Amino acid sequence: MRFLADEGVDAAIVSALRSDGHDIQWMAEEVRVDGIANERKGWIVAQAIGKYHTQLAGAFTVIQHATIRIRGM
Protein backbone atom coordinates (compact mmCIF):
# COMPACT_ATOMS: atom_id res chain seq x y z
CA MET A 1 0.00 0.00 0.00
CA ARG A 2 1.11 3.61 -0.55
CA PHE A 3 1.10 6.12 2.30
CA LEU A 4 2.01 9.76 2.78
CA ALA A 5 3.27 10.26 6.33
CA ASP A 6 3.40 13.71 7.91
CA GLU A 7 6.71 14.73 9.48
CA GLY A 8 5.09 14.23 12.89
CA VAL A 9 4.84 10.46 12.34
CA ASP A 10 7.50 8.64 14.34
CA ALA A 11 10.45 7.23 12.37
CA ALA A 12 9.89 3.78 13.92
CA ILE A 13 6.40 3.66 12.41
CA VAL A 14 7.69 4.62 8.97
CA SER A 15 10.46 2.03 9.24
CA ALA A 16 8.08 -0.73 10.34
CA LEU A 17 5.65 -0.03 7.50
CA ARG A 18 8.49 0.00 4.97
CA SER A 19 9.77 -3.29 6.38
CA ASP A 20 6.32 -4.73 5.74
CA GLY A 21 6.67 -3.71 2.07
CA HIS A 22 4.58 -0.53 2.09
CA ASP A 23 5.55 2.46 -0.06
CA ILE A 24 5.90 5.37 2.37
CA GLN A 25 6.60 8.95 1.38
CA TRP A 26 7.65 10.60 4.65
CA MET A 27 7.51 14.38 4.69
CA ALA A 28 10.43 14.52 7.15
CA GLU A 29 12.64 13.21 4.32
CA GLU A 30 11.34 15.58 1.66
CA VAL A 31 13.22 18.66 0.42
CA ARG A 32 12.28 21.73 2.46
CA VAL A 33 12.73 25.39 1.71
CA ASP A 34 16.25 25.32 3.17
CA GLY A 35 18.79 28.06 2.86
CA ILE A 36 16.13 30.75 2.99
CA ALA A 37 15.58 33.07 5.96
CA ASN A 38 12.44 32.38 7.99
CA GLU A 39 11.01 35.79 7.07
CA ARG A 40 11.39 34.94 3.37
CA LYS A 41 9.73 31.53 3.91
CA GLY A 42 6.78 33.30 5.51
CA TRP A 43 6.58 35.71 2.59
CA ILE A 44 6.61 32.81 0.07
CA VAL A 45 3.76 31.04 1.86
CA ALA A 46 1.76 34.27 2.27
CA GLN A 47 2.14 35.03 -1.45
CA ALA A 48 1.00 31.53 -2.38
CA ILE A 49 -2.06 31.82 -0.14
CA GLY A 50 -2.89 35.24 -1.56
CA LYS A 51 -2.63 34.00 -5.12
CA TYR A 52 -4.28 30.57 -4.76
CA HIS A 53 -6.65 31.06 -1.80
CA THR A 54 -9.73 29.99 -3.76
CA GLN A 55 -8.12 26.64 -4.61
CA LEU A 56 -6.68 25.78 -1.19
CA ALA A 57 -9.77 24.87 0.87
CA GLY A 58 -9.87 21.09 1.22
CA ALA A 59 -6.75 20.62 -0.91
CA PHE A 60 -3.36 19.07 -0.22
CA THR A 61 -0.75 21.70 -1.04
CA VAL A 62 3.03 21.55 -1.33
CA ILE A 63 5.00 24.78 -1.62
CA GLN A 64 8.60 24.49 -2.75
CA HIS A 65 11.23 26.99 -3.87
CA ALA A 66 9.57 28.11 -7.09
CA THR A 67 6.62 25.73 -7.43
CA ILE A 68 3.31 25.01 -5.80
CA ARG A 69 1.28 21.81 -6.17
CA ILE A 70 -2.39 21.85 -5.23
CA ARG A 71 -4.38 18.64 -5.27
CA GLY A 72 -8.06 18.52 -4.41
CA MET A 73 -9.02 15.97 -1.82
> Whole-angstrom Cα distance, residue 55 to residue 12?
34
DSSP structural state of residue 21: T
Q: Which long-range contacts (CB under 8 A, 24 or more apart) does 49-53 make?
A: none
**One-letter amino acid for residue 25 of the chain:** Q
> Whole-angstrom Cα distance, residue 55 to residue 17?
32
**One-letter amino acid for residue 30 of the chain:** E
pLDDT in tens, 14-52: 999 999 999 999 988 877 766 788 888 888 889 999 999
| pTM score | 0.55
